[in-house]
Structure 1
Amino acid sequence: MSHASGASGARIADYWLHEQLPARATELAHRATHRMLPRSARIAIVNPGFAGVRVAEVQLMREACVLETLHHSGVPRVFECGVHERRPWVASEHVAGTSIEAAAAHRPMPVGDALAVVRDAAAVLAHAHHRGVVHRNLTPRSIICTAQRAFPVCITDWGEATMRARRTQSAGGGDPDGLAGGAGVLPRGIDRMVPRPCDPGGRFYRAPELAGSDQCDASSDVFALAAVMFEAATLVLPEPVQRFPGVPAAFHQLLASMLATDPTERPTAAAVHAEATRLAELYSDGDAAIEEVEVELVDISRAPPAPANLGWMPPDHMAAPAPDTQRRRRDS
């Protein structure tokens, strides 16, 4: 099928490989173009060092199954998959855009932009949670702003996604996240070997209940989204959660609720989407970065006022003598 195994310039099936892309240690990824179709793709194939390792193969195929199942414009599409030199490979949509990590690398994101990302990313997560999928490893690298796609935000890196979580029903008997008792969407048996998230930087954005455990539910994704966007808006991790100048109180309150230590106190992704939509409309013109402060305006075009009378007068013996008295003294 090709004359090389994963090197740039090689070919896998009908795809020509180009520059290498970031990928997990168990995989190699390249930007690729279809031999006949005007299609740009991301080809991910199991790393030769992990050939035959079941966990690595299952992780790659799980991500493909998740992407195929979600059917959301904020999730990369899967084109096809196969086996090359006894290693599974997946061709998915190559998402070109700016990650949150890059957007907030040197300065905080404008509040209006940050709210828009929270709104759109929460919509993607709400769709995934309704289908019974928990991302489990949201980081600033996995949330990408994509101006060229139909949906302005794309969430990538679904390799650690799981369906094992089941959230307790709310007091009203409803299931806001669609996880309680929902039918599985992954092929039978493919979700039994779920590796724990291995991105070292991702630990800063994981919910506290995940410390020392891989058990999570939809609320863990809500926490991670808030941690990522709190840092993007302030350049500081939410440790602890504190107010920052320029961040509106309503936006801070939304992030603080998403970062609640108790998972049951966090809003659902659908509720976050609704509230962020409302706030994004209020601050879409960029005025959100302006804090309301009471100030006294001074007209500097006028002459400065005379200094105030402090009530002090010189003693009588220090006062200057009258003019006629000075004249009589000179005459004498």
Structure 2
Amino acid sequence: MSSFHLDHLQYLETESIHVMREVAAEFERPALLFSGGKDSICLLRLAEKAFRPSDIPMPFLNVDTGHHFPELNEFRDHRAGELGAKLIVRKVEEAIAAGVAVPNPGEVSRNRLQIPTLLAAVEEFRFDCLIGGARRDEEKARAKERFFSFRDAFGQWDPKNQRPEIWNLYNARVNPGEHMRVFPLSNWTEMDVWEYIKRERLAVPTIYFSHERDCVRRGGQWLPVTTLMPPKPKEEVKRLVVRVRTIGDIISTGMVESPADSVEDIIAEIAAARVTERGSRADDRASEAAMEDRKKQGYF
């Protein structure tokens, strides 16, 4: 008698593929959020496995703050072209010019301004579902989120007004103007993501691997020196061997000192890490509830 066994990565993969196929079956106008980061790279491979040899039945959507790392945008465009997918990019700069996104006086980060830009894209294309790469292990607000996360007509998330998910049964019904955010990687961990990248031999942006970069120490973390974020008076610029562990924009992404120049090295580093994945993100440090507050307004 033969036996059938799935290892933990295969189980997570089949679960995620099921969720993706559920989206394709239940929604009329879904889109897949693709930034070029490690989580969305895994989403693309899962989408290939879910729908090939047919085309992936949804466009890719990205909100560009104008402060992204160049390596990330280059990878995003290249990968979308490889797959022959329609890539929709909506820029915060254009949203500001159109009056859709309004920066506060003196506000440097455009993290908050991604929210109205994203919601404007949802309205423009009448998307009824957005697939994202968020995982529950990333942050406590995301730990509350279900696979199918309901957003009201204003694009807002109410953690107290979510639908029960019984086994693998999902309620995908939305009224006009409402939409769903769906997270196939909900049960994955950072380690799972990198082990999957290793197993599937997936390419990732070079910024994930160690490289030399000028940095300054600010707010308890190393931030990259760029034209957008020059050093302040009396700040000492240091040339360090660093990499990113999680990618936001240039202004909010802290670098971690690391010699890891391969996927295997990154996996070993994560196994020994004592700091959370998003511990290097300045945008999460505004308050204890920074992520939840943004998500209630319509953030990813």
Q: What TM-score do the two structures reach when normalised by structure 2?
A: 0.26
Q: Which has the higher contact order (CA 8 A, sep 6+)?
A: 2
Q: What TM-score do the two structures reach when normalised by structure 1?
A: 0.24
